[in-house]
Amino acid sequence: MLFKEIAVRSDAKEMFIDITPQVRTFIQENKIKDGKLTIFIPHTTAAVTINENTDPNVPSDIIFALNKLVPPHQEFRHLEGNSAAHTKTALIGCCQNILVRSGKLLLGTWQGIFFCEFDGPRNRKVILSLQE
C-alpha cells in the first residue's frame, strides 16, 4: 500500500479547493496501473467530495446550499463556535474512494476532487492511500 500526504492551504472561512491535479500526479509518479485510491481528510471541520469541476459556480452553490441547511446558530453548545463547520463535515464526509484503471482515475467527464474547508483559513493535509 502506498501513502502520500498533500498539504492544502485555505484562504477563506469556507471554500472548495480542487485537488484533482495533485491526486493525478500521485498516480502518475507511482506508475499505478490499476487499484483503489482512498482520500482521507484527518480534520473535523474539513471534508472531501467529488463533484463538477468545470463550472466554478458549482462549489460556491454547494457552499450556499450547505449554509442554508446548516446556518450558524447561537444555540450550538460547542465552545469553539464552529459547530456549523463540524456539521457540514459530517454531511459531506472525510473519505472518498476512487478506482484507478490503466493509470487513470475513473472519474466522470465533469468530475473533480475537492477539499472542502468549513473553518478556515488554515493549513490542512490530505492523506492519499493506494491499494494495487
The 10s digit of each residue's pLDDT in 23-82 is 999 999 999 899 999 999 999 999 999 999 999 999 999 999 999 999 877 676 665 667
Name the pTM for this structure: 0.93
Residue 111: which H helix or E strand, with range? strand 111-117
Rounded alpha-carbon distances, angstroms, from residue 48 to 4, 26, 37, 77, 116: 16, 17, 13, 25, 6
Starting at the earlier edge strand, list the strands of the sheet with 104-105: 2-9, 123-131, 35-40, 95-101, 104-105
- Rounded Cα distance, 85 and 40, in Å: 17
Domains defined along the chain, listed by start: 2-131 (2.60.120.460)
The 10s digit of each residue's pLDDT in 71-111 is 877 676 665 667 889 999 999 999 999 999 999 999 999 99
- How far does CA 35 lie from the centroid of its chain? 20
